[in-house]
Amino acid sequence: MAIGVKVLPRPDKGVSYVRATLKGMALTFRHLFQPRYTMQYPEQRSTDDWRISTRWRGTHRMLTDEQGRSKCVACGLCPQICPANCIKLVPGEDEHGNRFPLIYEIDEFRCVFCGYCQEVCPEEAIHVGVHYENSEYSRSRFVYDHERLTAQTHPVSTLWDPADPKGE
Amino acid sequence: MTPELKGFIFFSVIRLLVIFTGLLVSVAMLTLVERKFAGWFQNRTGPNRVGPWGLLQPAADGLKNILKEETRPGGANQTLFVLAPALSFTPALCLLAVIPLAAPLPVSVDWNLPLIGRIVYDGLMPMSITELPIGFLFVLALSSMGVYGVAIAGWSSNSKYSLLGGLRASAQMISYEVALGLSLIPVLLMTGNVGFSEIIQRQQDGLWFVAPLFLSFFLFLVSGFAETNRLPFDLPEAESELVAGYHAEYSAMKFSMFYIAEYAHIITVSAMITSLFFGGWDIPFTDWDEQGGLLQTIATHLAFFAKTFFWIFFVIWIRWTLPRFRYDQLMALGWKVMLPVALTYVMLMATALWFIDAIAPDASTLMQALMLTGLNLVFGAIFFAVLDRGRVVRGTSARPVPTTVHPEA
């Protein structure tokens, strides 16, 4: 029984080695004088050619109303839809019957940044943000509480719109 | 101790310190140069964070490597494991000792120095650490020592990847050493001497050996790449197959020492190519540089540096252009192309030199070199035409595939 050795059909006749080498070297040499594409990151965060997409789904932000109160009404939809189960919500109710989150925490380490919480939110309160610098000195700092989520100021993601797939 | 002996020792020590320090600094800077060029070849900028234009990067790397924790694999042979980096590092640094870096400087001093006393030096001072009469044989001998470091490192690490890397390295280096040595025999035939000064002198009188001994140069270049374990011959450390090859288990400064050895080898190979085939410190089209003097020494040193730097650049250029050979291709190239071609070339050059001597006994060095250049154009054209058709180094698909392994079964 023959052992099945897969042999790729590579060209053998008409191949060149010396000329191909010289061609390759000429190509790399031309690259020496071409413009550099490196972006000097901490100093330079966007160029004319490139900026971070408005559809970027980064760490969350809770929006507030005109009085500076969180828009969240603790309806419970976001923990329900969250595929990573990273949102912890304990609802509360004040004397007028308005619901508000007693505890609202997002574990950003568990989060898969799918953006479902933003899509499902009836009050447009929780959003994923256009933000990517998240270093902290301890792991516990990655559980964002309600206060911290409201305090974020970075722009929020526009998410993907089926009517406008290219984001124009 | 006579003042003359004192003078000799005094200036030898100074040359030793200057050249050795210069070599180590060059090796350090070469790591940066390599990364810079790597970036430029790929439309990147290369390291530019540490110091202006990233110039302090080697210092940062060195500091990091000194401060890093050293790991030792449990089943390793500790003695050899520690010894291997040194075995690879020391010969690599010694190689440059015999290569003259500039025109000899006429020195005439009679000084009274504190502590040392009266020193006298009168005559031409060679611009190498020592002017060994055995010349490039010394370099060949010491570069062969490098294989011990690599093989022992691979063997003592108690790791299959290291062992395979070490095996590959020793097989490769020994195979190509044959072609490396044989490619230098025509140089010896032309000069009648193995000393670097005589070889450079001969090239000044005639042509740079790259023209009359073109195939020698090409064989030396290719074998030199294989000896330094650089791409396209870096099979000993083929990342995709062997992690990092023979130095996979090394860390911190020991790991660094393998790198220093590799870069020192690059410098040496470049300096060898310069000295043997590109006139060494010779400045072309002028006799001014042979008159001797401080200015001439500085100018010839710059010429040597420029030529060597071009070859260092060439090594880097090749690395970022060509992919790695497959192992059987590497061996096929070494034994089926390099060795026969080198042997044939030695015979052809010997015959040609004897023939030229017979028909034109009083031809000048230049005339002889020009005649050999014409001959080499023909040989070079044939060699490259055959090599280009890829009859030796070719893909697996070119070989007949056995349809049945055990036909009788």
Count of CB atoms situated within 10 Å of the CB of A158: 15
Beta bridge partners of A106: A87, A144
Does residue A101 form part of some domain? yes
- Using an 8 Å CB-CB cutoff, list chain A residues near B406: 1
Distance between alpha carbon A50 and the CA centroid of its chain, in Å?
16
At A10 the pLDDT is: 66
pTM: 0.81
Surface-to-core class of residue A154, CB atoms within 10 Å of its CB (0-12 exposed, 13-18 middle, 19+ buried) = middle
| Interval B235-268: pLDDT, tens | 777 667 777 778 888 888 888 888 888 898 899 8
| B112 has a chain A CB within 8 A of its CB | no
A17 and B388 in contact by Cβ < 8 A?
Answer: yes
Quote the number of domains for chain A: 1
Domain that holds residue A129: 62-151
The Cα–Cα gap between B197 and B135 comes to: 8
Q: For tokens 């976001």, what's the residue?
A: A78
The CATH number of residue A97's host domain is: 3.30.70.3270
The verdict on residue A10 lying in a domain is no
Distance of CA B404 to the CA centre of its chain: 46
Stretch among A152-156, B14-18, B192-196, B286-290 having the lowest mean pLDDT: B286-290
Specify if A30 maps to a domain.
no
CA distance B358 to chain A (A): 36
Which residue is closest to B403 within chain A, CA to CA?
A2
Cα dihedral B361, B362, B364, B365 in deg (nearest 10): 40
Class of residue A3 by CB neighbours under 10 A (exposed 0-12, middle 13-18, buried 19+): exposed
Cα–Cα dist B25/A31, whole Å: 28
Q: How far apart are CA A146 and CA A144, in angstroms?
A: 7
Whether chain A has a CB inside 8 Å of the CB on B287: the answer is no
| B34 vs B232: CA distance, rounded Å | 15
Tens digits of residue pLDDT in A22-31: 888 999 999 9
Q: What residues in A contact B393, CB-CB < 8 Å?
A: 17
Q: Which A-chain residues 21-60 have CB contacts (< 8 A) with chain B? A: 21, 24-25, 27-29, 31-32, 34-38, 40
**How many C-beta neighbours within 10 Å does residue B264 have?**
26
A17 closest CB neighbour out of B43, B387, B406: B387
Q: What is the pLDDT of residue B309?
A: 92
Pick left, alpha or beta for residue A111 (phi over 0 → left; psi -120 to 50 → alpha; otherwise beta): beta
- Per-residue pLDDT reduced to its tens digit, A50-107: 888 888 888 999 988 888 888 888 888 999 999 999 999 998 888 888 888 899 999 9
Q: Contact B241/B162 with Cβ under 8 angstroms?
A: no
Residue B390 near chain A (CB below 8 Å): yes
Would A161 be classed as within a structural domain? no
Residue B109: phi and psi, rounded to 5, are: -130, 150
Q: Tokens 């006799």 identify what position?
A: B287
ipTM over 0.85: no
